[in-house]
Amino acid sequence: VPIAGNVAIVGSASTSFGILHRYGYLDLVREAANGAIEDAGLHNEDIDAAWLSTALPDVVGMEGDSGTPITESIGFSPRPVTRVSAYCASGMEAVRNGAMAIAAGEYNVVLVVGAEKMRDVTPRGSLVARTGNLTHPTVGKGRSGPGFFALLASRYLDTYDRTTDDLSAVAVKNHEHATRNPIAQYSEPVTSEQVRSSPMIADPLRLLDCTPTTDGAAAIVLTSTEWARRRGVRHAVLDGVGFSVVDGYYSGLYNPKNDFLGFRATRAAAEMAYAQAGIETPREDLDLVECHDCFTITEIVNYEDLGLCARGEGWKLLREGATTTGGDIPVNLSGGLQSCGHPIGATGVRVVKEVADQVTGRAGARQVQGARRGVAHTLGGPGVLSSVMVITGSNGH
Amino acid sequence: VPIAGNVAIVGSASTSFGILHRYGYLDLVREAANGAIEDAGLHNEDIDAAWLSTALPDVVGMEGDSGTPITESIGFSPRPVTRVSAYCASGMEAVRNGAMAIAAGEYNVVLVVGAEKMRDVTPRGSLVARTGNLTHPTVGKGRSGPGFFALLASRYLDTYDRTTDDLSAVAVKNHEHATRNPIAQYSEPVTSEQVRSSPMIADPLRLLDCTPTTDGAAAIVLTSTEWARRRGVRHAVLDGVGFSVVDGYYSGLYNPKNDFLGFRATRAAAEMAYAQAGIETPREDLDLVECHDCFTITEIVNYEDLGLCARGEGWKLLREGATTTGGDIPVNLSGGLQSCGHPIGATGVRVVKEVADQVTGRAGARQVQGARRGVAHTLGGPGVLSSVMVITGSNGH
pLDDT digits (tens, 9 = 90+) for B52-96: 999 988 666 678 899 999 999 999 999 999 999 999 999 999 999
- At B392 the pLDDT is 98
Query: By CA distance, what is A264's nearest residue in B?
Result: B78
Q: What is the 3-state secondary structure (H, E, C) of chain B?
A: CCCCCCEEEEEEEECCCECCCCCCHHHHHHHHHHHHHHHCCCCHHHCCEEEEECCCHHHHCCCCCCCHHHHHHHCCCCCCEEEEEECECHHHHHHHHHHHHHHHCCCCEEEEEEEEECCCEECCEEHHHHHCCCCCCCHHHCCCHHHHHHHHHHHHHHHCCCCHHHHHHHHHHHHHHHCCCCCCCCCCCCCHHHHHHCCEEECCEEHHHECCCCEEEEEEEEEEHHHHHHHCCCEEEEEEEEEEECCCCCCHHHCCCCCCCCCHHHHHHHHHHHHHHCCCCHHHHCCEEECCCCEHHHHHHHHHHCCCCCCCCHHHHHHHCCCCCCCCCCECCCCHHHHHCCCHHHHHHHHHHHHHHHHCCCCHHHCCCCCCEEEEEEEECCCCEEEEEEEEEECCC
Are the beta carbons of B71 and A268 separated by less than 8 Å?
Answer: no
Q: B88 catalytic, yes or no?
A: yes
Query: CA of A178, closest CA in chain B: separation in Å?
Result: 30
Q: In which band, very low, low, confident or very high, does the pLDDT at A252 lie, cut at 50, 70 and 90?
A: low
pLDDT (mean) for B339-362:
98
Query: pLDDT averaged over chain A?
Result: 94
- At B121 the pLDDT is 78
Q: In which band, very low, low, confident or very high, does the pLDDT at A259 lie, cut at 50, 70 and 90?
A: confident
> Is residue A123 scored above 90 in pLDDT?
no
- At A253 the pLDDT is 55
pLDDT digits (tens, 9 = 90+) for B311-339: 999 999 999 999 999 999 999 999 999 99
Of the candidates A78, A124, A245, the beta carbon closest to that of B80 is on: A245
- At A249 the pLDDT is 81
Q: In which band, very low, low, confident or very high, does the pLDDT at B248 lie, cut at 50, 70 and 90?
A: confident
- At B254 the pLDDT is 63
Q: Which site among A54, A100, A108, A385 would you substitute to test the B interface, given the most B Cβ atoms closer than 10 Å to its Cβ?
A: A100
> Is residue B187 scored above 60 in pLDDT?
yes
Are the beta carbons of A101 and B100 separated by less than 8 Å?
Answer: yes
| pLDDT higher at A33 or A127 | A33
pLDDT (mean) for A8-26:
96
Q: Which pTM was predicted?
A: 0.97
pLDDT digits (tens, 9 = 90+) for A344-386: 999 999 999 999 999 999 999 999 999 999 999 999 988 999 9
Query: pLDDT averaged over chain B?
Result: 94
> Is residue A134 scored above 70 in pLDDT?
no
pLDDT digits (tens, 9 = 90+) for B111-167: 999 999 998 876 666 766 666 666 666 666 777 889 889 999 999 999 999 999 999
- At B127 the pLDDT is 67
- At B265 the pLDDT is 97
For the ranges A135-139, A195-199, B294-298, which has the lowest average pLDDT?
Answer: A135-139
Of the candidates B2, B77, B89, the beta carbon closest to that of A247 is on: B77
Q: In which band, very low, low, confident or very high, does the pLDDT at B385 lie, cut at 50, 70 and 90?
A: very high
| pLDDT higher at A128 or A50 | A50
- At A284 the pLDDT is 97
- From chain B, the residues in CB contact with A91 under 8 A are none
- From chain B, the residues in CB contact with A81 under 8 A are 245
- At A138 the pLDDT is 67
pLDDT (mean) for A105-127:
88
pLDDT (mean) for B202-223:
97
pLDDT (mean) for B363-372:
97
- At A397 the pLDDT is 58
